[in-house]
Amino acid sequence: MNAIGGGIMTDVGKRGLLTELNEIYRIHDLDLSAVNLEICPEDTMFTKGDEDHYFNVGLSCLKSILLALSSAQKDKSGIKTILDFPSGWGRELRFIKAYFPDAEITAGDLEEGALRFCKDQFDAVPLLSRKDFSRITLVKKFDLIWCGSLLTHLNEDKALELLNFFHEALNEDGILSFTSQGRFSNYLLDSGKCNYGLEGAECQTLMQQYELRGYGFVNYLGAEDYGISLIKPSHIIKMTERNKNWKLIMYSEKKYDNHQDVISFLKEPVSNICMRPWLDRWIKRQESEKL
């Protein structure tokens, strides 16, 4: 079925592949025939002949979103506006679109060509991003934000800036899911199984910072503020617990493509965490007894 080696996979082959992959993810209410199979030749996330990996990433994104919804005790009918940021050329967007056909989906990225493709193929509203996230112009807020593999390229200051942008962009009670490179990525680097395109000395620096500070980052060669990050799960929590309106609903290691961790938050004041009526009544009784 797989076309690694340069062959071109037909649409029939791609549909068969999706069916096989979904036997792993078991997203039974996903209409696989609604998944757009068009892959842009400029898509830098696609390695020719490796549809297997490409579609696996997309399905694992959707599975992660559904787990976050379930943790938040929400169902898809409550999700009317979605931001996929960064969308790239729609590796994940095609699955989000197939699963949430009635939602309005916005695609955000720095690449204008990628945004054009997402608009043409998936009917996504384009949102041209900025290197400085605080300067992005928002015209609406979202019920769900998916961020596949962007924090993985940012230093800690930029990552915090991005999380602030997401907080701003979410509706109250909205869900954010993003990916991060954590303990498994550290293992891949340490064992020499993967170098994320870095030289040996940079890999060492990355792992040392990760050990010492919990957040490691090195720039790609010649790049500024864009490279590879490695973040301990405990450090992600530290970065986000300052914001009392983020309620952590999921931390799932290696959930994305059997590789990156997925972290999900609900935008809800921590003081709202108590949702049980009996506990509310108990707190009120305690308060009235104090009077």
Ligand X SMILES: C[S@@+](CC[C@H](N)C(=O)[O-])C[C@H]1O[C@@H](n2cnc3c(N)ncnc32)[C@H](O)[C@@H]1O
CB of 22 to ligand X, least distance (A): 18
Q: Which is nearer to ligand X, 158 or 235 (CB)?
A: 158
Instruction: Judge contact between 143 and 81, C-beta under 8 A.
Output: yes
- Considering the rule CB under 6 A, would residue 110 count as an interface residue with ligand X? yes
For the stretch 130-159, what's the b/e string if a residue is b when 16 or more beta carbons lie within 10 angstroms of its beta carbon? eeebeeeeeeeebbbbbbbbbbbbbbbebb
CB of 240 to ligand X, least distance (A): 20
Q: Which is nearer to ligand X, 89 or 215 (CB)?
A: 89
Q: How many CB atoms lie within 10 A of CB 258?
A: 11
Whether the upstream peptide bond of residue 126 has omega within 30° of 0, thus cis, is no
Bridge partner residues of 83 (DSSP) = 106, 145
- Considering the rule CB under 6 A, would residue 174 count as an interface residue with ligand X? no
Q: How many CB atoms lie within 10 A of CB 129?
A: 21
Q: Counting beta carbons within 10 angstroms of the beta carbon of residue 62, is it exposed (0 to 12), middle (13 to 18) or buried (19 or more)?
A: buried
Among 111, 161, 173, 253, binds ligand X (CB under 6 A): 111
Among 66, 107, 148, 181, binds ligand X (CB under 6 A): 148
CB of 231 to ligand X, least distance (A): 16
Question: Quick check: helix, strand or coil at residue 96?
Answer: helix
Among 82, 95, 98, 109, binds ligand X (CB under 6 A): 109
Residue 153 CA, distance from chain mean position: 13
Stretch that binds ligand X, among 8-16, 72-80, 143-151, 194-202 (CB under 6 A): 143-151
- Considering the rule CB under 6 A, would residue 257 count as an interface residue with ligand X? no
- The DSSP symbol for 136 reads P
Among 39, 72, 118, 150, binds ligand X (CB under 6 A): 150
Among 60, 106, 129, 260, binds ligand X (CB under 6 A): 129
Q: Catalog residues that contact ligand X under the rule CB under 6 A.
A: 45, 57, 86, 88, 91-92, 108-111, 114, 129, 131, 148-150
